Amino acid sequence: MGRVLRRLAQGLSVLWGSATLVFLIFSQVPDPARAIAGQNERQEAMDAFRRVHGLDLPLGQRYLRFLGELSPWGPHETGWGLKAPSLGVSYFGERPVVEALLEALPATLLLAVTAMGLALVIGVSLGLVLAWRGDGPVARAVIGLATLGMSAPSFFVAILVAWLFGVVWHDMTGLPPSGGWRVLDPFEGPQVAWHHLILPALTLGIRPLSVVIQLTRNAAEDVLAQSYIRTARAKGVGGWRLMRRHVLRNAMNPVLTAASGWFASMLAGAVFVEFVFGWNGMGLLMFRALEAGDLPVVMGGVMVVATVFVAVNMAVDAMYGWLDPRVRMK
């Protein structure tokens, strides 16, 4: 229980630090009212814009107001108590930021979960095979391709994959070069376009796949050199039963650590992939908001990514104890 409370306190500290850093960075932006309204807008209209968004308040009051809106506890219509955290309203159309993010977040989560799932399943399997088979031409070729995939820029890979599989080989694959995560069926209404997910998920998963292959191979080789593995082999345990029961669980800790960081970075770093494939997710929303100067949407997106990062790390920390009993003992 004490470990859970400590991790929760650490997570809340990270969120508070992220919120403070985001607020301080964006508070240095030149007057948004002047930038959005233009040079010829009347002073009365700009003053009204500043009052609506709290830009006329001193920096300290704006910071406290920002934290108060994020807090799940505070004043509401009937008094003090639990409330829904608020991320403010957009500078354009006065739309709540939470509403805009909730509309875009499912697309990015679907893309990130699929890409990370592919990377883990394929990467762990290949890493175990390479560790079991040892060094050789095939292993060196796979590691070379993994290194190449890890170093390739996302925007270049996205354009290449869209062009090859969506244009050049379209007759064989039947995959479109771009498309959103939902399509409107004339009879059944909005439907998830699963065939639109394949290419962006493949593109987004290439870099974590490369990392998972190498981490799994290295960790599995270290486990195979342990004395308890020799004891298990002496007792007649071998083949994939040995890999599944004794190697896999003990080699997964570094893989999970890397996967948690990659998953959180996918939510913020999928901008190029979403832009190339027309995948209307949170990355594309934040890019367009930053381009237009819609700072509340950008700040809200950063806070969502920070919250997901903390939640994923807490979940991975809990999985460590399940995978490795030595962590539970510590």
The pLDDT assigned to 33 comes to 73
Q: How many residues does the chain have?
A: 330
Read off the pLDDT of each residue in 244-255 and give the average, rounded to a whole number.
Answer: 79
The pLDDT assigned to 190 comes to 74
CA 239 vs. chain centroid, Å, equals: 36
| 202-232 tens-digit pLDDT | 888 888 888 898 888 888 888 888 887 777 7
Read off the pLDDT of each residue in 230-259 and give the average, rounded to a whole number.
Answer: 78
* Stronger pLDDT, 325 or 295, i.e. the higher one: 295
Read off the pLDDT of each residue in 125-142 and give the average, rounded to a whole number.
Answer: 83
The pLDDT assigned to 325 comes to 58
Alpha-helix runs per DSSP H in the chain: 2-27, 32-37, 43-52, 59-70, 97-133, 137-151, 154-163, 170-173, 194-224, 227-234, 239-242, 248-269, 271-277, 282-292, 295-323, 325-329
pLDDT at 31 over 80: no
For all residues of the chain together, what is the average pLDDT? 81
Terminal Cα distance for the chain, rounded: 13
Please give the share of the chain, as a percent, with pLDDT higher than 70: 89
pLDDT at 25 over 80: yes
205 within 8 A of 118, measured Cβ to Cβ: yes
Distance CA 304, CA 281 (A): 13
| 65-113 tens-digit pLDDT | 888 888 877 666 666 767 778 888 888 877 888 888 888 888 888 888 8
The pLDDT assigned to 276 comes to 85
pLDDT category of residue 46 using cuts at 50, 70 and 90: confident
Distance CA 296, CA 32 (A): 11
Weakest mean pLDDT among 10-14, 215-219, 235-239: 235-239
C-alpha angle 95-113-296 in degrees, rounded to nearest 5: 20
The pLDDT assigned to 269 comes to 63
Take residue 204 and report the two structure tokens written for it: 């987004």
| 308-324 tens-digit pLDDT | 888 887 887 777 666 66
The pLDDT assigned to 321 comes to 65
Read off the pLDDT of each residue in 168-180 and give the average, rounded to a whole number.
Answer: 85
pLDDT category of residue 294 using cuts at 50, 70 and 90: confident
Class of domain 101-279: mainly alpha
The SS3 of residue 96 is strand
* Stronger pLDDT, 36 or 263, i.e. the higher one: 263
149 within 8 A of 209, measured Cβ to Cβ: yes
Read off the pLDDT of each residue in 241-250 and give the average, rounded to a whole number.
Answer: 77
pLDDT at 39 over 70: no
The pLDDT assigned to 38 comes to 64
* Stronger pLDDT, 176 or 73, i.e. the higher one: 176
Q: Which of 165, 262, 158, 245 is nearest to 209 (CA)?
A: 262
pLDDT at 327 over 60: no
Say what angle helices 137-151 and 194-224 make with each other, to 10 degrees: 130
The SS3 of residue 215 is helix
Domain residue limits, the chain: 31-75+82-86, 101-279
The pLDDT assigned to 172 comes to 87
